[in-house]
């Protein structure tokens, strides 16, 4: 099994974030990572993921991958190609979503991921027919 990781899951883990209802997102992210380690689930990371993390919390790719490696996680690093950008444009137009969200969808589909794991499910609701999106808590409930 492979899951595409949206940057907000990693960011909430590192920042120890809570949502407006005081749900401890970082704890759910940590449990998600622990399950991925236990079940040997591959976590797909893209250049887009690394760029978003660096923009928000100023961590470089090597620091991010080291953090995940220290968690004992199996990561799959991929490079987007122009084909994914073209596919993202099509997904954006057909589903009326933001380009970067469509780009995440295109990358996850191209890399045969089973789902996208994100704290912003609303960003991907319109593309659930293409690839399922789950938050870390929902992902845990599937096991």
Domain count across the chain? 1
Q: Which residues contact 38 (CB under 8 A, 6 or more apart)?
A: none
Query: Domain limits at 64?
Result: 2-141
State the chain's mean pLDDT as an integer. 93
- Strands 115-117 and 2-5, by their bridges, are parallel
Q: Which two tokens stand for residue 125?
A: 């609701």
**Over the stretch 30-83, which tens digit does the pLDDT of each residue have?**
999 999 999 999 999 999 999 999 999 999 999 999 999 999 999 999 876 777
26: domain CATH number is 3.40.50.1010
Q: Token pair 């444009």 is at which residue?
A: 89
Chain-centroid distance, C-alpha 89: 19
Mark out the alpha helices in 4-114 (DSSP H runs).
7-15, 25-39, 47-57, 61-70, 82-95, 99-110
Mark out the alpha helices in 71-135 (DSSP H runs).
82-95, 99-110
Residue 121 has pLDDT above 90, yes or no: yes
């Amino acid at each position: 099994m492979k899951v595409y990781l949206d940057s907000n899951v990693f960011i909430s883990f590192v920042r120890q974030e809570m949502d407006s209802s005081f749900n401890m997102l970082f704890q759910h992210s940590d449990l998600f990572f622990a399950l991925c380690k236990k079940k040997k689930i591959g976590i797909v990371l893209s250049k887009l993921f690394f760029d978003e993390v660096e923009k928000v919390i100023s961590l470089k790719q090597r620091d991010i991958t080291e953090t995940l490696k220290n968690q004992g996680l199996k990561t799959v690093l991929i490079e987007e190609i122009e084909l994914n950008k073209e596919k993202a444009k099509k997904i954006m137009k057909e589903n009326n979503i933001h380009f970067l969200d469509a780009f995440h969808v295109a990358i996850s589909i191209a890399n045969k991921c089973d789902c996208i794991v994100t704290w912003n499910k609303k960003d991907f609701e319109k593309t659930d027919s293409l690839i399922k999106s789950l938050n870390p808590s929902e992902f845990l409930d599937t096991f």
